[in-house]
Structure 1
Amino acid sequence: MKWFRRRRREDPWEVVGCETVKPVFTFDSGDYHDLIYVQEGDTRGRYIFEFTRQAPSGVHCSSAVQFARQQLLRQVTTKGYNVLLEEGWSLTLLRRGKCHRIQVDYTGRPGCISGKLPPLRAPPFTALLEGQHIFS
């Protein structure tokens, strides 16, 4: 009778690349919206995307950041906010064998504005990812 079973040893994830954009002010006051209230602190979300067959490209990374932003905005909407005043993100590309993983940490400062919402813009500095070749 065996009392202890050994766990199958899994290889650790290797960091292939990392890009970070510190939170920047993304709300344009020239849109003539009245700011009603702002959350005191930032809201963060971590989103992980698995790639089992191919290595992700810069377009995949950019899409992952955009998806993370949409999810964070959806999360703050349930708390009564309707816009992110500051936004920042960190993207880490990980590899283990033939599998790849994209980890996006998205940060935003939620706020509530009156009137018609401004059109959604792309997250700040995502064009950096589309031209990156360090991830290949």
Structure 2
Amino acid sequence: MFNFRRKEVPWEVVNSSTVDAVPMYYEDEGIHQFLPDLEIAFTGQSNIRGTYVFDVSSGTKVPELRRVIEFARQQLLQRIAKKGYNILLLEGWQLTVYRRGKEHRIEVQYTGRPARAFGKLPESRSPPFTAVLETCY
């Protein structure tokens, strides 16, 4: 009558790092002074977040974690482009490493405030505060 599930071993949190959404272009620098050819047409009303999960080998190092965060950022930029935005004014991320037996998994939640900008867009910037990973892993 009732089918019982086999007991699945749950994922254990090994480590977690969070960087709250921070401005990528500071007011005191002046976005127009820093990027004189850039004009912000409109911004999103709220932050947008994407969650990305990666199965990885057990020996994951800091450079690989950085690449995972950068990949998540690129995925979020592609997602906002479909909605008519082309830049993130605020950016932040949360990275969680899980373990289940010999399996390892990384979950990245990347968040940002999308905006539509006209003019010369800045070079692709790296995600904020990835140096935090050096102290955690």
Q: Provide the TM-score with structure 1 as the length reference.
A: 0.90
Structure 1 residue ranges without an equivalent (≥5): none
- State how far apart, in whole Å, the 2-side matches of 1:15 and 1:27 are: 33
Structure 2 residue ranges without an equivalent (≥5): none
Number of aligned residue pairs: give it.
Answer: 130
State the one-letter code of the partner of 1:72. Answer: L
Shift of 1:5: 2.6
Shift of 1:127: 2.4
Where in structure 2 are the equivalents of 1:1-136 lying within 5 Å?
3-27=1-25, 29=31, 30-32=34-36, 33-51=38-56, 53-129=57-133, 131-132=134-135, 134-135=136-137
- State how far apart, in whole Å, the 1-side matches of 2:3 and 2:83 are: 45
- State how far apart, in whole Å, the 1-side matches of 2:51 and 2:115 are: 20
Task: State, as a whole percentage, how many aligned pairs show the same letter.
Answer: 45
- State how far apart, in whole Å, the 1-side matches of 2:62 and 2:11 are: 20
- State how far apart, in whole Å, the 2-side matches of 1:55 and 1:7 are: 31
CA-based RMSD = 1.3
Residues 65-120 of structure 1, C-alpha deviation per residue, up to 9 Å, x if partnerless? 10000000000001000000000000001101000110001100000111121100
- State how far apart, in whole Å, the 1-side matches of 2:64 and 2:8 are: 26
- State how far apart, in whole Å, the 2-side matches of 1:55 and 1:97 are: 14
Residues 25-74 of structure 1, C-alpha deviation per residue, up to 9 Å, x if partnerless? 003611111111000100000000002x4332112211111000000000
User: Which runs of at least 4 in structure 1 moved beyond 4 Å after TM superposition?
Assistant: none
Tell me, what secondary structure is at the counterpart of 2:129?
A: coil
Q: Provide the TM-score with structure 2 as the length reference.
A: 0.89
Tell me, what secondary structure is at the counterpart of 2:6?
A: coil
1:27, 1:84 within 8 Å by CA — same for their partners in 2?
A: no
- State how far apart, in whole Å, the 2-side matches of 1:75 and 1:27 are: 21
